[in-house]
Amino acid sequence: MTTGLVYLIGAGPGDPGLITVRGRDCLRRSEVVVYDYLANPRLLDEVPVDARRIYVGKTSGRHHLPQEQINALLVELARQGRIVARLKGGDPCVFGRGGEEACQLAAAGIPFEIVPGVTAAFGAALYAGIPLTHRDFTTSLGLFTGHEHPARQISSLDWAKLATGVGTLVFYMGMANLEQIAALLMAHGRHPDTPAAVIRWGTLPEQQTLVAPLREIAAQVRRSGLRPPAIIIVGEVVALRDQLRWFDRRPLFGRRILVTRSQEQAGALSAALEAAGARVLAVPTLEIVPPPDWTDLDGALDRLAGTDFLVLTSTNAVESLLARLAARNLDSRALAGIVVAAIGSKTAAALAGHGILADLQPARQDAEGMLEMLLEQGVAGGRILYPRSQLARPLLVRELIAAGAEVTAPVAYHCRCPAAAAEPLRQALDDGVDAVAFASSSALRHAWELLDAGRRKLLQGAVLASLGPQTSATARELGLAVSVEADEPTAEALVAALGAHFSALSSAARS
Ligand code: SAH
């Protein structure tokens, strides 16, 4: 059997976007991944689904698997011919024992490659708005362990040299010794007013930063209850945070937001929320599935010729229609000559993805807006095809018929409540959320059905954000107060509305 290969990969400090392109490529190629506590588990999504995942994480003091056994495991897996990704937080060889693992692999004759990572000091400092060097402040930088080999005393570092000889000092694993570190630096000549920062969970939505002069930092950290994992930065550059902080100034920074929406659609909303700094808990309470049978839609497609308007009120309608055309060996040309009305920009974009440009888009992106626009076009005597879900409101069909149109409204897809959503939904509410975002009436109704009385109370107490008037109306029907409503039904508008809500809250808290 041929020997495998071990990639020692730096996962970066937390934000999954901070792994290198090479690191991600290696993950995608691996058959087994051996990962640590500090490596963001979201990076495991990059690993092939059938790859084995082995957690060997350590939290302070509680070693999951001793280092010797990790070394032996890597050698063993490679000997079995596996491509192994050894994923470690930050950079694999900055206080990460990657050097030891590489030495063991080298000694055993196992081929390996090392992929550097963004180390915690670099990631956390910049996400806190602290450049580690700056010509006006410092010309040198040192990375230190604040928790040396247990057998040795912390004072074995040459404090006399480093206290004043190094401009910016960053301590890893130093929280337990913070008081001693600060005292030793001052005792060896570092000015007590030197600014210092402690950054916990740097680069993640949970990031917390505390800044204080060196003489006060230990006391303030104790009072705040800030705990590891954190790095300690000491140096004049820390003062730049006042001007440069950006990460924790984003409108939704640190807010835990529960997103309920179909799996297919949750991605865009989650990404927009995360870009604004939120911590997203995505629980799809809506599943889009094919209708139980195609008779309805097929019948309508048989009668496409002579259709005047095609009315599309969601991206699901677009995808279901085009998929069904394709299943019948047809493509967008089957729609030639039909005036296509799309309810909003997202639906129009889905159409554009199939090479179809929407002819009409209402000013108001809901059924009422669509109706108004079609009535202005004049639909009397016209034939309208309106593929929809089984849950669509009757409004459009009823009013278009009343206006003299001939309407075919086949069920092109079904909305369903996935039972698997119940547990994560309850868990999220029990853990506490700052807001719950509902993207549709069905996502909301489904969530409601999945909850017991106690959790329904929790939901009533949360900040509810809805994507539009229809969803808000459903919420009120269920006895829920909606505090945030998007101006238009897009992820961006919902994020803006949530941002405005929370910034009003925090300015009220400040005044
Ligand atoms: N190899 C890692 C360091 C591992 S040692 C790297 O290059 O970053 C573990 C220590 O790293 C923690 O005790 C803490 O001091 C620091 N650390 C790791 N991730 C961190 C994060 N996201 N924010 C703050 N400190 C972090």
Phi, psi angles (nearest 5°) of residue 36: -105, 170
Mutate to test the pocket of ligand 1, among 63, 172, 201, 226 (most ligand atoms within 8 A of CB): 172
Summarised one tens digit per residue, pLDDT across range 16-34 is: 999 999 999 999 999 999 9
- Specify the pLDDT at position 511: 63
Domain 5-117 matches domain 256-286+418-510 at the CATH topology level: no
Beta bridge partners of 143: 170
DSSP helix/strand/coil, 400:
helix
Q: Is the pLDDT of residue 150 over 50?
A: no
Give φ, ψ of 7 to 5 degrees. -100, 120
> What is the domain class of 291-415 according to CATH?
alpha beta
Contact 26, 7 (CB under 8 A): yes
Question: What does pTM read for this prediction?
Answer: 0.80
Query: What is the CATH number assigned to the segment(s) 5-117?
Result: 3.40.1010.10
- 256-286+418-510 folds as Rossmann fold (3.40.50)
DSSP 252: T
Q: Which residues form ligand 1's pocket by a CB distance below 6 Å?
A: 13-14, 38, 88-91, 94-96, 119-120, 124, 172-173, 199-203, 228-231
Inter-residue contact 138 to 168 (CB < 8 Å): yes
Please give the distance, rounded to the nearest whole angstrom, from the Cα atom of residue 290 to the centre of ligand 1. 47
How far is it, in rounded angstroms, from Cα 406 to Cα 74?
69
Whether domain 122-249 has CATH 3.30.950.10: the reply is: yes
| Cis omega (within 30 of 0) for bond into 228 | no
- The CA–CA distances, whole Å, from 374 to 103, 308, 336, 340 equal 72, 11, 19, 11
72-94 pLDDT per residue, tens? 999 999 999 999 999 999 999 99
Residue 151, pLDDT score: 46
Residue-level pLDDT at 63: 59
Query: Where in the sequence numbering do the catalytic residues fall?
Result: 36, 58
Kindly report, residue by residue over 363-392, the tens digit of the pLDDT.
998 899 999 999 999 999 999 999 999 988
Distances (CA, A) of 112 to 215, 262, 286: 45, 42, 45
Closest atom of ligand 1 relative to the 203 alpha carbon: 22
Q: Please state the atom number of ligand 1 nearest to the C-alpha of residue 204.
A: 22
Q: Is the pLDDT of residue 59 over 70?
A: no
Cβ(490)–Cβ(344) below 8 Å: yes
Contacts of 222 (CB under 8 A, 6+ apart): 179
The one-letter code for the residue type at 284 is: P
Substitution site in 42, 62, 95 for ligand 1 pocket (most atoms within 8 Å of beta carbon): 95
Angle, helices 441-450/453-461, rounded to nearest 10 degrees: 140
Neighbours of 503 (CB within 10 A): 12
What does the pLDDT look like over 312-365, one tens digit per residue?
A: 999 999 999 999 999 999 999 999 999 999 999 989 999 999 999 999 999 998
Domain boundaries, the chain: 5-117, 122-249, 256-286+418-510, 291-415
- Reference 438, options 410, 478, 388; nearest CA is 478
